[in-house]
Amino acid sequence: MASFASPVVILGARSDIGRAIAKRYAEAGCSLVLAAREADRLERDRADLETRYQVPVRTAEFDLHVTNPDTFFRDLGEAPGTLVMVAGLLGEQARAEADDAEATLVMNANYAAPARFLLAGARLMQPHSNGCIIGISSVAGDRGRASNFVYGSAKAGFTAFLSGLRARLFRNEIHVVTVKPGFVATRMTAGMALPPLITAMPDEVAKAVIAAHSKRRNEIYVRAVWRPIMALIRALPEAIFKRLTI
């Protein structure tokens, strides 16, 4: 089994994907910090992971929109060995188009705030080698589509940020992984008609994250089918693309 730098700090650990990722790293023998809003609600997860996998697990209060990044990492008391950003917000395209506050919230939750936390974490990680930063981005960031361009534009920014951070930290021997899950069957997507062929489960995302970390992959699509799909979407001429309703 691969050895990963600990502690593994998971930002957004109450999400379905965050919980699945925590379980996979615990299985690998890593100590964990589960960070989320209302962190006391993670007590059952913390106790279960500690008991089941015999690894140290603690929780930390974390809110993308309220918590100060530098204060958060200072209060942890140690530098992350592995830092995973899962937090984000799908939002509603129609509301975001109509309401500046909603658009700002979606943009901040999927780009500006996650980037600030990863920057703060990276500052602490730089003196140490063999660390890893993992960002959950989205296929929606590969090209702005009419159906979700507010969310997609934020994820595009986050993907570009991760690419630049990867190049910047390469010399510090800290690897950065960009994960593009596509559709995932979670509480956030409950009620949506998701195509089974291109819809992953949270544990599928978690296994892909662990594999990408182990193999030091730079950027992954959780389901390989997304790679040709997004290549086609990116290749469409603008004259045709702007007439589509995707």
Reported in sequence order, the residue ranges of the chain that DSSP labels E, i.e. its strands, are 8-11, 32-36, 57-61, 82-85, 132-136, 175-180, 183-184, 199-200, 219-221
Please tell me the distance from the alpha carbon of residue 120 to that of residue 116, in angstroms, as a whole number: 6
Q: In angstroms, how far is the first alpha carbon of the chain from the final one?
A: 41
User: What are the backbone dihedrals phi and psi of residue 98, each rounded to the nearest 5 degrees, phi first?
Assistant: -90, -20
Among the listed residues 226, 222, 162, the one whose alpha carbon sits nearest the alpha carbon of residue 186: 222
111 annotated active-site = no
For the chain, what is the largest distance between any 2 Cα atoms, rounded to a whole number of angstroms?
57
Alpha carbon of residue 124 to chain centroid: 19
Q: Which CATH class is domain 8-241?
A: alpha beta
Contact predicate 225/180, CB 8 Å: no
Please tell me the distance from the alpha carbon of residue 37 to that of residue 14, in angstroms, as a whole number: 8
Residue keyed to tokens 């925590």: 22
Contact predicate 220/162, CB 8 Å: no
Structure-token pair, residue 48: 């279960």
Cis ω before 69 (30° cut-off from 0): no
Contact predicate 28/54, CB 8 Å: no
Of these residues, 25, 53, 111, 151, which one is catalytic?
A: 151
Residue keyed to tokens 């469409």: 236
Among the listed residues 227, 95, 207, the one whose alpha carbon sits nearest the alpha carbon of residue 151: 95
Please tell me the distance from the alpha carbon of residue 133 to that of residue 118, in angstroms, as a whole number: 8
Domain positions in the chain are 8-241
Q: In tens digits, what is the pLDDT along the chain, a chain of 246 residues?
A: 568 999 999 999 999 999 999 999 999 999 999 999 999 999 999 999 999 999 999 999 999 999 999 999 999 999 999 999 999 999 999 999 999 999 999 999 999 999 999 999 999 999 988 999 999 999 999 999 999 999 999 999 999 999 999 999 999 999 999 999 999 988 777 667 787 889 999 999 999 999 999 999 999 999 999 999 999 999 999 999 999 988
In terms of Cβ atoms closer than 10 Å to its own Cβ (0-12, 13-18, 19+), residue 98 is exposed
* The length of the chain, given as a count of residues: 246
